[in-house]
Structure 1
Amino acid sequence: MPGPRNKNKKKQNKKDKKSPATSTPSDSALDNVPERAPQTVPPPPEPTDIASETSATPSPLPLHEPEEHVEEACPYPVPTQDAVESPVYPQYLPYPPGEDSSTPPSLLTTPFIYDPGDGPRVKRARAFLSSRFAAPPSVDDPLCAEFADEALAEMLCSVLPEETALILWYNKSRRTSRICPACQRLYRLGDVLPEHLSNGDAEEQKAQNASPFLAKEQELSGLCSPVCFILASYNYPGAIRSTWGRMAEELDDATWDLLDGPGQSAPVDDMGLGMLVKMTRCHDLGLGQLFFPDLDLDSDATCNESDENEGEDRPKEKTKVDDYEDAIVEMRPKDDVVVQMEQLSLEAAVQR
């Protein structure tokens, strides 16, 4: 059933249909504004168009004529844009063809001679011997001329380490030039050398250099100072004092027993310096007995001439060696260690 509310709604709808549509002033103002066309952004001109436009429009004439500028020739080539952007390589090869680039050049190799402040030192003996710093062999001296043979250097290298053997060969084949086997100091006989452990006392240093044993030891083995000799004889502490500056004929049996023994209980690797001290006590470095044990070196007319002259008046004694009653042995002085070793080897051969 239609109620009062529905009646009111019907009446209101009839009134709205009869009244014309009214517009507000604000709406009419907005309707009168003309619509603007959408703005379109023109595309950027192409490079060809810009070039044609610039060429078409003539440039303004200058107010005054510019001064003539003479371009000077540049002594260096001006790099272009392509040359700047591209990598620049040298026009020469840093290494010879066929050589690996990892091989260091000669200037970067370790130097074989240097000076720490107290005299030049030799670090690599073989490189030093092939350089102009090494003194030539003294061929005018008979003994040095015999040692100048390179075959003797190879023989020494088979007995001693290479560095020690080459230094010993250099010292024996040169008359005055020396290399210390212990500290590798390069010097000449007669030079006043600074001591390794000196406190700056000039008088003490002069007294040590004036020692006759030091001058003799420098001539024999090349060891330049008492400190270097003690270092070389470290494994034989009991024979240091009696061996310094002395040859084989000046050593007693007790000293030889110490040198021929095993040394101290815990021997130290001395790079062959102990063997060098023993070898330099002999004039021929003991190479004759080492490489030619069956050769009788005492039978040479140039050796032991004084012993032969004294032996003319010396009586000969006969000794019985097992079954050989007629074996005659000429007795030599007891301090001749070489002859005693030959007698012991003879007795051992007869007993066999």
Structure 2
Amino acid sequence: MDTTTSARRRPTIRDVAAAAGVSRGTVSRVINGGHWVSPEAREAVERAIAETGYRANQHARSLVTGRSNSLAFLLTEPHHLLFADPTFSILLRGAAEALSERGMTLILLVAGTPDERENVAQYVGAGHVDGVLLISSHADDPLLDTLVEQGIPTVACGIPLGHADQVGSVSVDEQAGAREMVAHLRAQGRRRIATITGPLDTPGGRLRLEGYRTELGDAYDERYVVHGDYTAESGAAGMDVLLDRVPDVDAVFAASDLMAAGALGVLRRRGLRVPDDVAVGGFDDSGLAATLDPPLTTMHQPFDRISAAMVAMLLDVVGGAPHTAVTMPAELVRRASA
């Protein structure tokens, strides 16, 4: 091969075949999934691809395989939460990195309104993506029903309530994490422990509340429970309600770090010291927790592992594997707030 010419033009399958000592058909089969290719030939082709710098024409490849070579990162929340809640951006970055390593594309879709849900359903149903990474699923969201009905390969972040037997998932152990946080607060001598829950139609909202209730056992008191929506504003509103309703509260478990941040602001405004008067614990450890004043004790979610596992699972499902459920432990991170 003329090196001057090869430096000027993009390497082709013919170049890879010549370098590997195999037919162009063998190279094509390796590129499009490796079926009916011996391990020796596959290794030779992969080595030749690296040596020549060949990159597949993804449009042509999609015509052959019937796949788009892309996945959707689908957030079923209002747009502003993509930027307000750091957990979403961390998951997005991790998924993008995992796909980039595979030479694939991640497409961001947000469906926070009925019109957006309809548009997304049409888009993914038309085959523009090979599968969906579903973020922040809600039990009453008709979009999840649509994905299941259309047979769109889908993997959820968190157990998809009402669809656990139809959709794969990657999650932390929500109940065990909540129990560990409440046990930590009790071990510090706190006896009047409140909680600010997430939305009860989400797995985190429902299961973290169940963990809180289970750990308290007979000490559970409904007066110490208020409901939020994972935002700082709802955490602040919930903390105000708690202080008015049960002013003797001496600890608060917020089901997200953002809600804990809102609670901290209210406690400071109302002249209460953290943790001296009221201890505060959160859930996520997305980076925000360490920057709060005081730094927040929280349950760490391994977001990088979660997003990587979601991508790997979804690609398996796209390839025909059955859906599964993976549960990872949450880890208590002790800081000054509790």
How does the TM-score come out when normalised to structure 1?
Answer: 0.26
Structure with a larger share of its residues in helix: 2
How does the TM-score come out when normalised to structure 2?
Answer: 0.27
Structure with a larger share of its residues in strand: 2
Rg bigger for which structure? 1
